[in-house]
Amino acid sequence: MKIIKSTKELQSIRRSISTKVGFVPTMGALHEGHISLIKEAKKQNDIVFVSIFINPKQFSINEDFSSYPIKKEADIKICALAKVDYLFMPEISSIYSQNEVLIKSPNQSYILEGFSRPDHFNGVLQVVLKLFGLIQARNSYFGKKDAQQLFLIQKMVKNFFINTQIIACETLRQNDGLAISSRNTYLLPQEKKEASLISKSLYCASRIISKNEFDVNIIKNEMLNILKNLNVEYIEFVNKNFQKITKVELKNTIILIVVKFKTVRLLDNIWV
C-alpha cells in the first residue's frame, strides 16, 4: 500500500492508472463499517483508494473539530491489512485555499442532521467534490447509515454530471442490532445495552408496515413506546427524495432516528 500526502502526487499516480478505480472516503478512526466498504470496493474494482481527511468545513462552531478521534497508525494498519492500494492522507492546507468557489447544498440539507448544523452538508459536499475530482473513481462507496449525506452526494453527482457511480452499502450491525459507529466506543456499559433498542424500534416499524399499517403517527408511537426510557431527538419518515411523509410508501421510505445519550448522539435508519 502506498501512502500519498500531496494532491500533485495523487494526480500524477492517478493519471498512470487506466484500470477500474474504487474509492472509499473516510475521516479515519476506521471500524468494521469502513472495512466492509473497502471490501466491497476491492470486490468490484482493480485498484482501491481510501482517503483519510478530517474535514474541518463540516464541523459547526459548537462542534469540536479538534477533539475528533485521530488514529493514524491504527488506520494505516487496517488499510494495509484490507489490501488498499493507495491511502490518501492530505494536510488541510493542500485541500483548501483562501476564497474558494463554494458548493451550496439544496433544501434537504437544512432538515434533520442539517437542522442544528446548517453548514455541515455544505462542508461535506465541498470536500467530497474535491476528492471526486482528485481520485476520479469509477465507483465510490458510502454507507446507508448516513442516509442524508448519501442522498445529497447522489444529488451532487447527478447535478454536476460527475463521472462516478455511488455505491450505497448496507449498515453493518453488532449481534444485538446496534449499528456500528465510532461513536459507540463512547457509550457507558448500561448505555450500550439501551442503544440496542434503537434498531429494535426500527425492526418493529418494519414489522408493523409489513402488516399494511402505513400511518406514520401510529408507527412512530409504537417506536416511541420501545424507546420510552431514552432521549429520542427525532424519528422522521422521509421518501427517497428526503421529503417528510405522513404515509409510508413501500420501497420509497426511509425511517430515520437519532437518540441522544449523555455524551453521544446515535443515528440509525431503515429503508422500507
Residues that bind ligand PAF (CB under 6 A): 25-27, 55, 58, 124, 127-128, 146, 149
Main-chain dihedrals φ then ψ at residue 78, nearest 5 degrees: -60, -45
Which of residues 26 and 164 has its CB atom nearest to ligand PAF in the complex? Answer: 26
Shortest spacing between CB 176 and ligand PAF, in angstroms: 24
Give the side-chain half-sphere CA count within 13 A for 186: 14
> Where in the sequence numbering do the catalytic residues fall?
34
Pull the grid cell for residue 70: 485521530
Q: Are 150 and 142 in contact (CB under 8 A)?
A: yes
Shortest spacing between CB 246 and ligand PAF, in angstroms: 30
Which of residues 25 and 114 has its CB atom nearest to ligand PAF in the complex? Answer: 25
Shortest spacing between CB 43 and ligand PAF, in angstroms: 21
Q: Which residue type does 139 have?
A: N
Pull the grid cell for residue 222: 409504537
Helix pair angle (72-81, 32-44), 10° resolution = 40
Shortest spacing between CB 21 and ligand PAF, in angstroms: 17
Q: Which residue type does 54 have?
A: I
Q: Partners of 173 in the beta sheet?
A: 179
Which of residues 140 and 199 has its CB atom nearest to ligand PAF in the complex? Answer: 140
As a whole number of Å, the CA-based R_g of the chain is 19
Which of residues 58 and 105 has its CB atom nearest to ligand PAF in the complex? Answer: 58
> Using CA atoms, how far apart are residues 228 and 240, in angstroms rounded to an integer?
28
For residue 245, give the nearest of 214, 201, 209, 203 by alpha carbon.
214
Shortest spacing between CB 272 and ligand PAF, in angstroms: 23
Q: What share of the chain is helix, strand, coil (3-state, %, to 5)?
A: 45, 20, 35
Which of residues 146 and 233 has its CB atom nearest to ligand PAF in the complex? Answer: 146
